Structure formats: C-alpha cells, structure tokens
C-alpha cells in the first residue's frame, strides 16, 4: 500500500510531519530488519510516518474493514440491515441469516486485518523502546497512539470472537503458535494499555491540525469508558465518561447534519480513508441507495425504522430513502461519489459517552441522573414541530423503575448508534438479550452464534488456535 495515493484527507498531517512525501515505511509482508527499524525510529518524521501508516491501513484496507465493513456485516448479523434474497451459500448469507461458518471468506478479514495492524503497532512500540534519537515529546505521543490503537484492535476482536491471541510482540516464532487468552485477560490488558495511552497522549488536537483523525487522551478515555461499561464496572465507566462530557473540547451538535463531518464537535476520534479521489467515506459508498437494492446492497430493517419515536429528527436526517420511497438506508454519511473532504468515519463520539454514563448511573441506582443524560441527548435529537411532525421528541420521565430505565438506555443506543461499527451487536450480546430480541427475525439463532467462529484459514496456520464452541 502506497501512502501517497492522493492529496487530501490527512493534509494537515502533511504540513506537520511531512509524512506523506514518502512511501510506506513498515510492511508486514517484508518485515523490517533491525537496521532499517532503527533508522525509522531515529528520525521524527519517519517514526510518525510509520504510525500514520496504521491509521491509513485501518481506514481503507478491505474496503474499510474497520469502518463500512464492520458496520455492514455486524448490521446484517444483528437486526439493523437486511439484504435482498440471495444465494443461501453466499458469504453474505452467512451474516444476514446469522449462520456463519469458519470458512466464510468475509469473516477472515475481521481476524487477519486486525492482526496485520497489531503487528504494525507492536513494531512501532518495539522501535520506540530501542530508539534514543527521537524527541521526548514525540516519542511519548507516538507510544500513546500505538497503545491506543493496540487496545482498540484487541477490544474489537474480543467482542467478536471472545478469547483471542493476545499478541504483544513482533516475534514470529511466538505469534505463529500463540494460543488464545481469556476474554477477561484481554480486557484487563486493553484497559492497562488505554490508561498508559491516556497519560502519554496530548490533550488537544493541535498536533493534527485541529482535525480529529489521530488519537488524543480523550480517545483513550472514551474507549476506557466503553471497556469499563462492558466489564460492568459502573463506577469507573461513569467517571471516565464524565471527563469527556465535562470537557470544553466536545459538545453535542445542534444540527444533526454536522455530527459526522470532519469539523464535528461531537467527534472524539475519526478515521479518514486516503484512496483514489472518488469519495469521502466507504459508508456512503456502501449504504446510499439510488434505486432498489441489488444483490451487493443492503437496506434498513423495518424493525429499526419502527424503533424511532415520533418527533425524532434522527429518523429524518440520518435515514435516507430511494426516490420511490420503498427502501430506506443509513444516511449518516451523505457524499457518495463525491470528494469534498468534509466527512470522516466517526468511531468515537460524545453521544456515546452520554449513553455510557446514563447506563452506569442507572446501574448504580441513580435513575434520575441517568435519565437526565438521556434527555440531554434527546434534546439535541428533537425535531422542530411541523405540520407533518406536530410533536417533538418528548422527555423521559425519571419516575420509572431501574429495569424500565435500562430499557430506555438500550432503546436510545439503538436509534443513536445504528450501523456504527458493531455497537448494536455488542449491546445485544453484552446484555444477554441477543437471542430473545433476534428470534423474530432470525429464528435459527442459538447460543453458539453469539461469537464469530475463528477463521479456518488461521487455524490451519496456527495449530494452537482452538475453535469457539458449536463450530
């Protein structure tokens, strides 16, 4: 992959680091030897380029494996997206019908692309440890970014596959025979990496030209909050999310059309592809329908559309419809076939932090505080009264039980975070509601389907990789 694919996307980083004036520094296909690695990490600009190459890889490889592909396939696997009738033996059918097999070719990138990027991240971390020539501030920053990216990759993998190999080095002799670590051990490691990153990373976006396409301490805090939530550590989940909600750097947008822009004040961390100049995001390319969906396209399930309450502006601004009105699609990203350099995949954003804190507070018995957070978000998602929408989105009453309040949280997560990188699927599995809620649309779903199978191609390469139960 060549870094210099076009002139846009990471332009602010060009000026700051001169990173895009050269070709790829590190390649997993041809591992760097000790001498070349030392050369990379003895010069600020080259070390920065090695790190940025990982961001680019995550943003674009595999047709946006960490962005649109994650949203597309997890949306099919859960109850967000539906595909037209397709060949029952096709790879897509395995996801849409929630009956994955370990040889599904669409499954493999979920594993292989993550470990490809993990190799690169570990290479950066090892290079920094040996380096004596980099400026102290830059060395800390790159180390923090690398640890954040490693934590993100491991956290996502563990939520799809459960127990996974905890790869923390570039030693191929170890990595080729490494066995799976427990999900608990992986999550503990993720939190440790994120805490380290939080201390190492800068607290503003000046080093990236003001745009939010590189990790800061806030990205680390946001992912820590999510990790604590999934780990049912309500106290720390509330504490971490409060840091972001209280920061003057972030605020909920008044205009929903601004939420997924590069300039969004809700964005904490974004990914921006650097591809041939045809489009801004993979999401717009994959999701926007101009006619009835074909065999390679998807549309929103009616159950998701029916989940929006009357007066919810998200239903109008974030859902698109074909000209004939028969098909609806995710419309958070609107520039299909256009390059305006205005949109970017928003991986971590402030709205999720309100939802994390609301859930954590309610779990701790603070129902009023949790409902206050939900209403703060809903106030920004409320449509103005019109003839067609006479009643705006109402406030939620705090005079409800804990169980009712938690259902309100998951309802709000469903309509706020739909088609965002596995969020719905993770919510269903971590809450134990997946089988109950999906039975109506996927009657064949069973306990084994709550984890993806380990790809067979990977098990053939590593004899110590065990398979998930039922596959």
pTM: 0.91
Four-point Cα dihedral 423, 424, 426, 427, nearest 10: 110
The top-level CATH class assigned to 11-278+343-461 is mainly alpha
Q: Show pLDDT as tens, one digit a residue, over the chain (471 residues).
A: 333 333 333 333 323 333 322 323 222 333 343 435 667 787 788 999 999 999 999 998 877 899 999 999 999 999 999 998 876 678 888 899 888 999 999 999 999 999 999 999 999 999 999 888 899 999 999 999 999 999 999 999 999 999 999 999 999 999 999 999 999 999 999 999 999 999 999 999 999 999 999 999 999 999 999 999 999 999 999 999 999 999 999 999 999 999 999 999 999 999 988 765 567 899 999 999 999 998 778 999 999 999 999 999 999 999 999 999 999 999 999 999 877 789 999 999 999 999 999 999 999 999 999 999 999 999 999 998 886 777 889 999 989 999 999 999 999 999 999 999 999 999 999 999 999 999 999 999 999 999 999 999 999 999 999 999 999
Give residue limits of the domains in the chain. Answer: 11-278+343-461
Taking every pair of Cα atoms in the chain, the longest distance, rounded to a whole number of angstroms, is 70
pLDDT digits (tens, 9 = 90+) for 352-389: 999 999 999 999 999 999 999 999 999 999 998 886 77
Q: Which residue has the tokens 């065990």?
A: 466
Tokens, residue 398 = 């705090």
């Amino acid at each position: 992959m060549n870094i210099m694919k076009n002139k846009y996307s990471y332009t602010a980083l060009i000026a700051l680091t001169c990173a895009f004036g050269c070709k790829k520094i590190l390649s997993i296909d041809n591992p760097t030897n000790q001498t070349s690695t030392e050369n990379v990490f003895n010069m600020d600009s080259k070390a920065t380029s090695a790190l940025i190459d990982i961001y680019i890889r995550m943003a674009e490889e595999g047709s946006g494996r960490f962005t649109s592909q994650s949203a597309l396939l997890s949306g099919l696997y859960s109850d967000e997206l539906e595909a037209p009738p397709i060949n029952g033996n096709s790879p897509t059918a395995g996801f849409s019908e929630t009956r994955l097999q370990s040889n599904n070719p669409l499954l493999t990138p979920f594993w292989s692309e993550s470990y490809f990027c993990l190799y690169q991240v570990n290479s950066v971390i090892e290079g920094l440890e040996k380096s004596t020539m980099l400026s102290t501030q830059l060395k800390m920053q790159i180390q923090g970014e690398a640890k954040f990216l490693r934590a993100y990759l491991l956290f996502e993998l563990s939520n799809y596959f459960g127990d996974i190999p905890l790869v923390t080095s570039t030693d191929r002799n170890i990595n080729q025979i490494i066995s799976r670590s427990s999900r608990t051990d992986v999550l503990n490691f993720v939190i440790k990496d994120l805490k380290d990153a939080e201390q190492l990373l800068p607290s503003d976006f000046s080093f990236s030209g003001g745009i939010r396409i590189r990790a800061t301490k806030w990205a680390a805090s946001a992912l820590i909050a999510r990790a604590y939530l999934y780990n049912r550590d309500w106290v720390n989940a509330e504490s971490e999310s409060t840091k972001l909600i209280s920061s003057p750097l972030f605020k909920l947008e008044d205009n929903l059309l601004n939420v997924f822009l590069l300039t969004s004040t809700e964005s904490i961390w974004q990914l921006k592809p650097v591809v041939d100049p045809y489009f801004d995001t993979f999401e717009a390319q994959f999701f926007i329908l101009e006619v009835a969906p074909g065999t390679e396209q998807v549309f929103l399930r009616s159950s998701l559309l029916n989940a929006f309450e009357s007066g919810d502006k998200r239903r109008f601004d974030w859902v698109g419809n074909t000209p004939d009105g028969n098909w609806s699609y995710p419309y958070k990203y609107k520039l299909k076939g256009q390059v305006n350099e205005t949109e970017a995949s928003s991986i971590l954003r402030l709205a999720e932090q309100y939802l994390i804190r609301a859930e954590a507070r309610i779990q701790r018995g603070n129902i009023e505080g949790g409902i206050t957070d939900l209403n703060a978000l809903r106030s920004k998602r409320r449509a103005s009264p019109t003839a067609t929408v006479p009643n705006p989105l109402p406030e939620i009453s705090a005079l409800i039980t804990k169980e009712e309040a938690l259902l309100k949280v998951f309802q709000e997560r469903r309509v706020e975070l739909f088609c965002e990188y596995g969020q719905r699927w993770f919510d269903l599995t971590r809450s134990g509601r997946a089988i109950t809620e999906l039975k109506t649309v996927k009657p064949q779903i069973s306990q084994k389907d709550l984890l993806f199978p380990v790809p067979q191609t990977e098990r053939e390469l590593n004899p110590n990789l065990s398979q998930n139960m039922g596959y």
